Amino acid sequence: MKDRLLKIALVAFGAIFILVYPLAMVWPSGWSWHMGAPYASDYFMMIVGVYATLGVFLILAARNPAAHRSLILFTAASSAVHAAIMAVQAIQMPEHSGHFFGDVPGLIVVAVVLYALLPPSKTATA
């Protein structure tokens, strides 16, 4: 059951990561850190590229999560770090408080779910 939930989570989170650009168009206060169209920021387009690529690999990892444990752990850990940094920045810049209702909780959910469903590591036997 846990393996099936992990596969579903990997596909769902992968799809969301691929859709960061359209999310920023529909709900910019929760997904974008600049004014104007998403393509108007070189930084944001770099983030879109990184997250879209990660999204594709998460979907591919859903085929065999145990073989991609390090990718899943990286996604969980980097999502937690990303959310923490964004939360601090949103506190420091009140005009970005919309992120407390968008990408900050979203990334926390990604981190918690993937960590909770992380396949066990294979231990070497002597």
The span from the CA of 87 to the CA of 121, in Å, is 31
b/e per residue 37-64 (b: at least 16 CB within 10 A): ebeebeebeebbeebeebbeebbebbee
Contacts 24+ apart (CB under 8 A), 90-99: 96/29, 96/33, 98/29, 98/30, 99/29, 99/30, 99/33
Instruction: Kindly report the pTM of this predicted structure.
Output: 0.85
Question: What's the pLDDT tens digit per position in 18-70?
Answer: 998 888 887 766 666 666 666 777 788 898 899 999 999 999 999 999 999 99
Question: What's the pLDDT tens digit per position in 91-102?
Answer: 888 777 777 777
Q: How far is CA 60 from CA 14, 52, 66, 104, in A?
A: 9, 13, 12, 25
Q: Where are the domains of the chain?
A: 2-117
Q: How many residues does the chain have?
A: 126
* Higher local confidence (pLDDT), 21 or 79: 79
Q: What 8-state DSSP symbol labels residue 21?
A: H
The span from the CA of 111 to the CA of 109, in Å, is 5
